[in-house]
Amino acid sequence: MEPISARAMIEAAATAAAPDPNRPMVERRKRLSPAALAVANQKVPPAYSSIVITGLVRLVEFVLIATVGIVLYLGYVARHDGVHWEYIVAILGMTVAALIGFQAADLYEVQVFRRTLNQMTRMISAWTLVFLLFIGASFFAKLGGEVSRVWLSSFFLLGLGVLIVERLILRNLVRHWARQGRLDRRTIIVGADENGEKLIRALNAQQNDDSDIRVLGVFDDRNDGRSLDTCAGSPKLGKIDDILEFARRTRVDLVLFALPISAETRILQMLNKLWVLPVDIRLSAHTNKLRFRPRAYSYVGNVPTLDVFEAPITDWDQVMKQLFDRVVGGLILLAAAPVMALVALAVKLDSPGPVLFRQKRFGFNNERIDVFKFRSMYHHQADPTASKVVTKNDPRVTRVGKFIRRTSLDELPQLFNVVFKGNLSLVGPRPHAVQMKLQSRLFDDAVDGYFARHRVKPGITGWAQINGWRGEIDNEEKIQKRVEFDLYYIENWSVLFDLFILLKTPWALLKGENAY
């Protein structure tokens, strides 16, 4: 056997290392420390909004109280005296008064829902006060003789019983959600030094059944003796650059800076990297000597903080957007079904291959999602990673593909993502393929703050698209304008804004600009 020369070995190694053009590109992800991986690999369910929970509890209790009062009235008083709307108005007034009393007694807090004795004592007191006020008002209005005592006492006792049962069920639900981690505010601390230790100790001092703060670990921009490996029992998980990857692998709700305000330069440098994340970012004020007005602070437990960035579209806004997507998206899907059937038939008859095309794209918080489209290219020339941008007169595009791409009919299957999978919205920043490039540079390298588009779910259409920034991206201005318009949308979102964009979309599509 002839010996292999060194040159031959080098050439063989180079050939093995060269990328295979027929092999799909695999995205490289930043490596995390073993401590960070241990946390990130834990299964974490989605969080439930405390604001939405308390709002739903108010609604349920309004319905329960009003229903008990009206049913008792119709079943006892109205049978003998007929229906008088004064009673109905009084019942609704007492219901509203009860909710106001519960609010004044701090009964609409998730922490209170977990307790039993404290919650029941407050509720019974507030409920009793409402009836005493009603009796007093009836006396001074000289209506005492016209109000049925049997109805009033039955309303008091049965209403109280229903509320007690409802609150016991709620207590069990909230405790179950707490055990699942759905009510936790998963928090990371920035600053692995003495300030970080003081902050974590202050947070840990509040750790009890009522606390929703769960400290996952600490990150620091330094890697020398000033940076501790462990802060008050919380491990150091990595450097500041690692936070982006960490927050994309696991749920993070709050980033809390333990640095003093005097470290302005360091804080600004870190914020410049972290603002693209869809999380709340706050600056702890527990070690700062500078004091602001009390209203300038928000509180994490008893720790005062200064708000820097807030996660967009949360709580009731998120509920409204999801309802809008599912209801309106479902109606559009039903209306578009005949058109989709015709397009599917045309795609099938035009060229061999599957009707639908699936592509990996960026979703919320850089999550990789599968987006469905009608196939517009020849099957053997499909480009699932979008490594090569589609250009005018691209030979890979079929005859039917040219038409459906120009009219955006190829996007209609994304309604399945909206209605059934829930990983797309009707309106939002358009999702780009994970390997899309501008002049050999990935989009996130070409545009500063590109990933800030992913602070909300992507959409089938968006503010950028109806303003003419759709289709081929062949220069830096086009991607910069997309990002600029997408960020404007995120900062100014409303349901009416979504509706406006949706109604304008057909007119934008008729122009057919930049779509090949």
Residue 270 lies in a domain: yes
Q: Which residue has the tokens 């462990």?
A: 230
Q: Give the count of domains, the chain.
A: 3
- Domain range for 87 is 50-180
Kindly indicate the confidence band of residue 14, based on its pLDDT and cuts at 50, 70 and 90: very low
Helix axes 117-140, 85-104, angle to 10 degrees: 140
Name the more confident of 79 and 190.
190
Beta-bridge partners for 40: none
Query: Do residue 153 and residue 209 come from a single domain?
Result: no
Query: Do residue 210 and residue 275 come from a single domain?
Result: yes
Q: Which two tokens stand for residue 211?
A: 């606390």
Q: Which two tokens stand for residue 458?
A: 């992507």
Query: Do residue 294 and residue 324 come from a single domain?
Result: no
pLDDT at res. 7 = 39
Residue 484 lies in a domain: yes
Kindly indicate the confidence band of residue 498, based on its pLDDT and cuts at 50, 70 and 90: very high
Q: What is the pLDDT of residues 344-359, one digit of tens each?
A: 999 999 888 899 988 8
- How many beta carbons lie within 10 A of that of residue 474, not counting itself? 14
Query: Do residue 303 and residue 321 come from a single domain?
Result: no
Last residue in a domain, options 180, 196, 216: 180
Query: Do residue 268 and residue 351 come from a single domain?
Result: no
Give the CA distances from residue 378 to residues 92, 374, 390, 433, in Å, rounded to whole numbers and listed in that order.
Answer: 65, 12, 13, 19
Q: Is residue 424's pLDDT more than 60?
A: yes
Q: What is the pLDDT of residues 200-259, one digit of tens each?
A: 988 888 766 567 889 999 998 877 667 788 888 899 999 998 999 999 999 999 999 988
Query: Do residue 146 and residue 194 come from a single domain?
Result: no
Torsional class of 393: left (φ above 0), alpha (ψ -120 to 50), beta (otherwise): left
Last residue in a domain, options 311, 330, 346: 311
Kindly indicate the confidence band of residue 395, based on its pLDDT and cuts at 50, 70 and 90: confident
Query: Do residue 362 and residue 493 come from a single domain?
Result: yes
Residue 292 lies in a domain: yes
Residue 36 lies in a domain: no
